[in-house]
Amino acid sequence: MASYLYYLLPAVGGYALTSLYFLKNPHFLHKKKQTAFYCTHISHRGGSGERIENTMGAFTHAAEVGTEMLELDCHLTKDSHVVVSHDENLLRQTGQDVNISSLNLEELPPYKETLEVTFKAGHFSTGSDRNIALLEDVFRKFPQIAVNIEVKENNSMLIEKISDLVKKYNREAISVWASVDSTIMENCRKTNSSMPYMFTVKRALKMLLLYYTGLLPFVPLGESFLSANTKYFHTMLKVTYFNRMFKHLRDRGIQIHLFVCNEEQDIEAAFAAGATGVMTDYPTLLSNYIRRHKQDT
């Protein structure tokens, strides 16, 4: 047993030191990713705390206060239009228990006059624009703003039409595939591999396992963005060892977006943890925070 440990301990120690070295110096093993944009300000559903979510009014307001990325979800109407909506079923958003896929574009109902902010219970937004938006209108009006496109259903026609619109408006470099589901992401990547993409839940968990076993520095990563919900990291954000993973990812050119930060203390904690960008329902709040802290530096 003693002789076994004589060989094992140095090997384990050597592996740990090597892993730590490449964790701190990933450029020796990996070429740093170069994305076409870098954003610190992301508006969740267009900033659903200040305007009705996912409307052109919300996206316009977010752009006016300085957002650098719009986060949105897409679905397909019965007559094959790609529309922007978080939910496929419209009960929560419009009060009508109907699915987008069962309606033609002109049949889509308007949003409610006031809508509760999902990530801030008891708070409501309103706005003059209550129409469900077309993805094409978003691309047409905001040609220079990055868009995070989350796909929630494994619908090949939807994915192909999103890809076609991205190509039509020449924005493959600033449009990002996002999905929590790895099967959906595979379909998105197969349809358009030129667009950067986010970690899925399965891939993020695998990445965490690689990190805690010391293997992460040695494994190539295709993703350009990690998006993580702050409620899962609320206590871990203060752990220095966990922050090392964020630094390693940043050093490899992977942007880290933490969501949904709707209080100034959450925004501050996210940036302190090493987030490169923060996603919020309150774009004015985030813009003011960023502006103040730029003045302080």
pLDDT at 97 over 70: yes
Q: Is 262 helix (H, G, I), strand (E, B) or coil?
A: coil
Is a pLDDT exceeding 60 seen at residue 197?
A: yes
Q: Is the pLDDT of residue 234 over 80?
A: no
What is the longest distance spanned by two Cα atoms in the chain? 78
Query: Does the pLDDT of residue 189 top 60, yes or no?
Result: yes
At 126-182, the pLDDT tens digits run 999 999 999 999 999 999 999 999 999 999 999 999 999 999 999 999 999 999 999
Q: Residue 28 has what DSSP assignment? A: G
In angstroms, how far is CA 34 from the centroid of its own chain? 17
Q: What is the reported pLDDT for 230?
A: 77
Q: What is the pLDDT of residues 240-255, one digit of tens each?
A: 557 899 999 999 999 9
Look at strands 41-44 and 146-150 and give their pairing: unpaired
The pLDDT value recorded for residue 165 is 98
Whole-number Å distance between alpha carbons of 257 and 274? 9
Higher per-residue pLDDT: 121 or 5: 121
Calpha distance 32→249 (Å, rounded):
10
- Closest alpha carbon to 112 in 127, 97, 133: 127
Tokens of 200: 């899925």
d(CA 256, CA 250): 7
Q: How far is CA 275 from CA 72, 257, 261, in A?
A: 20, 6, 12
Alpha-carbon distances, residue 224 vs 65, 113, 257, 281 (angstroms): 26, 37, 11, 23
The pTM assigned to this predicted structure is: 0.94
Supply the pLDDT for residue 3: 67
- Distance between CA atoms of residues 48 and 44, nearest Å: 7
